[in-house]
């Protein structure tokens, strides 16, 4: 394999108008990373509009060019030095920045925090400092910009440095360097400034190369959140992005939160030359496994010995930017890697004004731009890590209605609790029983089986729903034949066990139906289920949960309505024959 060039991702933050875009434009210009003619174009347009030239405008030109290629986040720009490649993220709006940072879209490894020397430290300089600390970004340079406006004064520079250090050190942010520059005039950007001979350190570009890259996402425990499961000829391909760690063909893996173990059978590939037996962090891959389970988006694949935390209750530091306050008891959506679950705020432990850093006493809600320590409760179990251990799987966003309204990082799991908030013991292992399925089947002289009756929607719905009629009659006939049989009616489920989820959540509806049917089958029961043939994929998943050998699919259409009794006979024959022959 070629030796890949190293890439470092840097975010540029700071108060509005302090020169973030100018600094980036200048870096692109000085490293000759701009598209052909960009400078001339910006000069011409500025002149036509009677406005002064701005380096910040270069970013627009650059973005347009980049969009022609593969779609990348428009605020991410690239340049390189002799040492490595850089992705540099402009954080124009305060809100946009937070959204991107917290959602991981701007997964920066280092930061440049820009302060206007003339205006001094402003509210957003502080807020951004706070966010860097919250996100655990330790590699920070403070760039004191617009030094030309204060006559390149060493004294004023030192004052800013002292003041800002006092604030940041309180937050455990210790900038590695303070660099005085004039981004616009190119002072101290690529070569030492003649106007600031008192500054002994490196100019910006040289300093960037001194950021040390954190080693090894691939050396962390394997985290492979499932994005989707595709059915491809007879294979079920589990697809997703490996967030951290490595995965090899043959590895024993754990699928959480369901606690299922299996082995990696193959790593799939599109073109022959991509064929491989090992994949690692950062790669989007598809795999097949030796045991087929009902896997779905949101589940986590890890190695057995290094599992993620799994809970429905966890502590988090959260940044709120929603229009309405974040309050306890309200339903929100939590997104964490590929998981999406309903959640609520279980407790608000501390609320902090991010610019003054003052604690807001006895706060009952988190207001826009506040930072808070909270405990979050999710409806289902979620898999994650503490942010300090794994940034990719330790951060989340909260969606209020349709808006990403906040985000945060996880500082620890609380004990798993049930819906009432009461801790549940983690013992999930099956008990060794003295009565087995075979014992039950032998006594009752029948085989446990799911008869899954399906057909087009017309056959299911309406008053004369033929599928329902068939199911009812079949149940009666089998009962009269002294079989232990039960028709598990959809309405019974949606009104009972599944009354907490929408009817349209067919995926989960079917999963629950199938899990119950599976228990019935284990009990030796002939279980009749009906479903709308449209949810083919869901039915396929049900078949996996129940097991192919215990699953008899009966497809009917409206024509059966004319002679339901005949169909009942047919199905009974199938079932009875199935009892005698093992190859049903
Ligand atoms: P937002 O994206 O709006 O938050 O602003 P920004 O931080 O990207 O600032 P931008 O780069 O757009 O610069 C704001 C203004 O400051 C522009 O008019 C720049 O020309 C000017 N400016 C930037 N750097 C310098 C500098 O070193 N010296 C002087 N005198 N002006 C500068
Ligand atoms: Mg800007």
- Rounded to an integer, the average pLDDT of 348-357 is 78
Ligand 1 centroid–CA 356 distance in Å is 25
Residue whose tokens read 């599928």: 467
Nearest to 465 by CA among 521, 530, 400: 530
Ligand 2 centroid–CA 107 distance in Å is 19
φ and ψ at 349, to 5 degrees? -90, -30
- Given the CA of residue 183, which atom of ligand 1 is nearest to it? 27
Lowest pLDDT segment from 3-7, 169-173, 487-491, 540-544: 3-7
Ranked by mean pLDDT, the top range of 5-14, 181-190, 392-401 is 181-190
pLDDT score recorded for residue 408: 87
Of 56, 92, 94, 153, which is best to mutate to test ligand 1, by the most ligand atoms within 8 angstroms of its C-beta?
Answer: 56
pLDDT score recorded for residue 68: 46
Ranked by mean pLDDT, the top range of 72-76, 247-251, 293-297 is 247-251
Is residue 402 predicted with pLDDT exceeding 70? yes
Measure the CA–CA gap between 332 and 344, rounded to whole angstroms. Answer: 6
| Atom 30, ligand 1: residue with shortest CA distance | 146
| Atom 10, ligand 1: residue with shortest CA distance | 19
| Atom 13, ligand 1: residue with shortest CA distance | 19
Give the orientation angle of helix 536-546 with respect to helix 506-522, to 10 degrees.
Answer: 30
Q: What DSSP string describes 413-427?
A: EPPPB-TTS-B----
Identify the residues whose C-beta falls under 6 Å from ligand 1.
14, 16-22, 54, 56, 92, 145-146, 148-149, 182-185
Is residue 539 predicted with pLDDT exceeding 90? no
Is residue 73 predicted with pLDDT exceeding 50? no
pLDDT score recorded for residue 459: 64
Q: Which residue has the higher pLDDT, 27 or 72?
A: 27
Lowest pLDDT segment from 87-96, 293-302, 551-560: 87-96
Nearest to 86 by CA among 172, 209, 247, 1: 209
Ligand 2 centroid–CA 511 distance in Å is 49
Contact indicator for 52, 46 with CB cutoff of 8 Å:
yes
Give the orientation angle of helix 38-48 with respect to helix 56-68, to 10 degrees.
Answer: 130
Measure the CA–CA gap between 179 and 188, rounded to whole angstroms. Answer: 8
10-65 pLDDT, tens digit per residue, is 989 889 899 998 999 999 999 988 878 888 888 888 888 888 888 888 876 666 54
* Own/partner pairs, 572-577, CB within 8 angstroms, 24+ separation: 572/474, 572/477, 572/478, 572/481, 575/449, 575/451, 575/478, 575/526
Is residue 414 predicted with pLDDT exceeding 50? yes
- Given the CA of residue 181, which atom of ligand 1 is nearest to it? 27
Of 19, 93, 113, which is best to mutate to test ligand 1, by the most ligand atoms within 8 angstroms of its C-beta?
Answer: 19
Q: Reduce the DSSP state of residue 6 to 3 states and report it.
A: coil
- Given the CA of residue 114, which atom of ligand 1 is nearest to it? 7
Q: Which residue has the higher pLDDT, 95 or 390?
A: 390
Measure the CA–CA gap between 143 and 21, rounded to whole angstroms. Answer: 13
Q: Using CA of residue 129, residue 130, residue 131, residue 133, what is the dihedral sign?
A: positive
Is residue 279 predicted with pLDDT exceeding 70? yes
pLDDT score recorded for residue 62: 62
Q: Using the 8-state DSSP alphabet, how is residue 429 labeled?
A: P
Q: Which residue has the higher pLDDT, 580 or 224?
A: 224
- Rounded to an integer, the average pLDDT of 487-491 is 90
H helix count then E strand count, the chain: 14, 27
Ranked by mean pLDDT, the top range of 269-283, 323-337, 501-515 is 323-337
Of 52, 74, 157, 184, which is best to mutate to test ligand 1, by the most ligand atoms within 8 angstroms of its C-beta?
Answer: 184
Nearest to 303 by CA among 332, 264, 359: 264
| Atom 29, ligand 1: residue with shortest CA distance | 146
The percentage of residues in the chain with a pLDDT greater than 90, rounded to a whole number, is 46
Q: What DSSP string describes 444-489?
A: HTS--EEEEEEE-HHHHSSTT-HHHHHHHHHHHHHHHTT--EEE--
Closest ligand to the CA of 184: 1
pTM of the prediction? 0.60
pLDDT score recorded for residue 103: 58
Closest ligand to the CA of 13: 1
pLDDT score recorded for residue 499: 86
Is residue 335 predicted with pLDDT exceeding 60? yes
501-535 pLDDT, tens digit per residue, is 888 888 888 889 999 999 999 999 999 999 877 77
Contact indicator for 412, 333 with CB cutoff of 8 Å:
no
Residue whose tokens read 């019935």: 520
Ligand 2 centroid–CA 147 distance in Å is 18
Ligand 1 centroid–CA 55 distance in Å is 8
| Atom 21, ligand 1: residue with shortest CA distance | 19
Ligand 2 centroid–CA 23 distance in Å is 9
- Write out the two tokens for 62: 């650059």
Closest ligand to the CA of 17: 1
- Rounded to an integer, the average pLDDT of 146-172 is 94
pLDDT score recorded for residue 427: 45
pLDDT score recorded for residue 462: 56
Closest ligand to the CA of 55: 1
Closest ligand to the CA of 24: 1
Closest ligand to the CA of 94: 1
- Rounded to an integer, the average pLDDT of 147-159 is 97
Ligand 2 centroid–CA 190 distance in Å is 21
Ligand 1 centroid–CA 20 distance in Å is 7
Is residue 70 predicted with pLDDT exceeding 50? no
Q: Residue 234: pLDDT band by 50, 70, 90 thresholds?
A: confident
Ligand 2 centroid–CA 20 distance in Å is 5
What is the strand order of the sheet 551-555 is part of?
485-487, 526-532, 449-455, 551-555
* Own/partner pairs, 61-69, CB within 8 angstroms, 24+ separation: 61/34, 61/35, 62/28, 62/34, 62/35, 62/38, 65/35, 65/38
pLDDT score recorded for residue 74: 44
Average pLDDT, the chain: 85
Ligand 2 centroid–CA 25 distance in Å is 10
Q: Residue 100: pLDDT band by 50, 70, 90 thresholds?
A: low
Q: How far is CA 338 from the centre of its chain?
A: 4
Q: Residue 303: pLDDT band by 50, 70, 90 thresholds?
A: very high
453-486 pLDDT, tens digit per residue, is 988 766 655 555 888 899 999 999 999 999 999 9
Ligand 2 centroid–CA 269 distance in Å is 41
pLDDT score recorded for residue 391: 84
104-118 pLDDT, tens digit per residue, is 556 788 999 999 999
């Amino acid at each position: 394999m070629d030796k890949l060039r190293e890439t470092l991702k840097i975010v540029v933050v700071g108060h509005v108008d302090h020169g973030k875009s100018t600094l980036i434009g200048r870096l692109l210009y000085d490293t000759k990373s701009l598209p052909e003619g960009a400078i001339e174009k910006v000069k011409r347009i500025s002149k036509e509009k009677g406005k002064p030239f701005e380096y910040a405008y270069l970013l627009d030109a650059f973005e347009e060019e980049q969009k022609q290629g593969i779609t990348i986040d428009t605020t991410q720009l690239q340049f390189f030095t002799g040492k490595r490649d850089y992705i540099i993220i402009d954080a124009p709006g305060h809100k946009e920045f937070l959204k991107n940072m917290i959602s991981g879209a701007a997964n920066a490894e280092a930061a440049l925090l820009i302060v206007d020397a003339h205006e001094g430290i402003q509210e957003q300089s502080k807020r951004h400092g706070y966010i860097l600390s919250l996100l655990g970004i330790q590699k920070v340079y403070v760039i004191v910009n617009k030094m030309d406006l204060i006559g390149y004064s060493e004294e004023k520079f030192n004052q800013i440095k002292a003041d800002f250090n006092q604030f940041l050190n309180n937050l455990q942010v210790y900038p590695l360097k303070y660099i005085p520059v004039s981004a616009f005039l190119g002072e101290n950007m690529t070569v030492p400034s003649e106007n600031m001979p008192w500054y002994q350190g490196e100019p910006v570009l040289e300093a960037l190369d001194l950021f040390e890259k954190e080693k090894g996402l691939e050396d962390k425990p394997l985290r492979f959140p499932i994005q989707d499961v595709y059915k491809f000829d007879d294979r079920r391909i589990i697809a997703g992005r490996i967030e951290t760690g490595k995965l090899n063909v043959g590895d024993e893996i754990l699928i959480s939160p369901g606690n299922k173990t299996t082995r990696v059978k193959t790593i799939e590939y599109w073109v022959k030359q991509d064929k491989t037996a090992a994949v690692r962090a950062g790669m989007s891959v598809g795999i097949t496994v030796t045991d087929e389970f009902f896997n779905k988006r949101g589940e986590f694949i890890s190695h057995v010995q290094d599992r993620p935390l799994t809970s429905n209750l966890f502590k988090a530091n959260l940044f709120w930017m929603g229009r309405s306050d974040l309050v306890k008891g309200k339903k929100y959506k939590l997104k964490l890697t590929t998981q999406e679950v309903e959640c609520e705020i279980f407790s608000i432990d501390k609320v902090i004004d991010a610019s003054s850093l003052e604690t807001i006493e006895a706060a009952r809600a988190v207001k826009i731009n506040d930072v808070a320590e909270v405990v979050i409760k999710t409806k289902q179990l979620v898999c994650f890590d503490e942010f300090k251990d794994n940034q990719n799987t330790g951060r989340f966003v909260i969606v209020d209605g349709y808006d990403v309204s906040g985000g945060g990082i996880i500082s620890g799991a609380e004990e798993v609790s049930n819906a009432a908030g009461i801790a549940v013991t983690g013992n999930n292992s099956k008990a060794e029983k003295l009565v087995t399925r075979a014992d039950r089947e032998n006594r009752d002289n029948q085989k446990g089986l799911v008869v899954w009756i399906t057909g087009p929607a017309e056959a299911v719905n309406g008053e004369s729903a033929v599928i329902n009629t068939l199911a009812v009659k079949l149940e009666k006939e089998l009962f009269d034949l002294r079989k232990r049989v039960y028709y598990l009616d959809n309405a019974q489920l949606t009104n009972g066990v599944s009354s907490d989820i929408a009817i349209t959540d067919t995926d989960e509806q079917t999963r629950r139906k199938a899990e119950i049917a599976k228990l019935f089958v284990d009990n030796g029961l002939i279980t009749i289920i009906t479903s709308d043939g449209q949810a083919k994929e869901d039915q396929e998943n049900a078949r996996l949960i129940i097991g192919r050998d215990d699953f008899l699919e009966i497809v009917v259409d409206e024509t059966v309505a004319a002679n339901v009794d005949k169909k009942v006979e047919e199905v009974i024959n199938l079932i009875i024959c199935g009892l005698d022959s093992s190859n049903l």
